[in-house]
Structure 1
């Protein structure tokens, strides 16, 4: 019996010093390998950014489920991440986990109808 690996939907962002957030996103089985390929400039769309970091990911059982993720939630990830990056410039605090925590809260709120 063939065991299927779950698909991961991911979003990458650049460091807060750039105050921009790229929107590379995609599906993969191996997040570490995918991030490494972007950081090593092996992907043409993100070659100009050497400081990319994983800001969010979700896991799905099938490719179809991951591909059908509502785009407004992915856009929400980007909005939250950019705001955190702007705040971090003055506060001096920035971590990918802080973005993930805010995104997770926002997505939970949306699922619950807030």
Structure 2
């Protein structure tokens, strides 16, 4: 984070068990557990360290992306549950899935994927 930010609003969703904060998008993502239910929360509005823009820009982009998620719905992709203004920013709340992020900000898991044989990588894209 570029500066302190109050994430106490996350308690509304449950207990944070995973943080994805190495983002250049202006978002911070969380795995949250409440009883047996797990959620993936993508939050924009906090001043993240790797984002060069203003938090308001990240909020605007996340808000603009939310209406597109239904068009992208697929059994192999996490499902958007809802989105809302919360904690001085905006959150998109998804079902949780146990998986790894293959984005460029996570080189170890990305490299693991890139080392798969080409047919296996193509199968992943074909499934989606």
Q: TM-score, normalised by structure 1?
A: 0.30
More strand by share: 2
More helix by share: 1
The structure whose Rg is larger is: 2
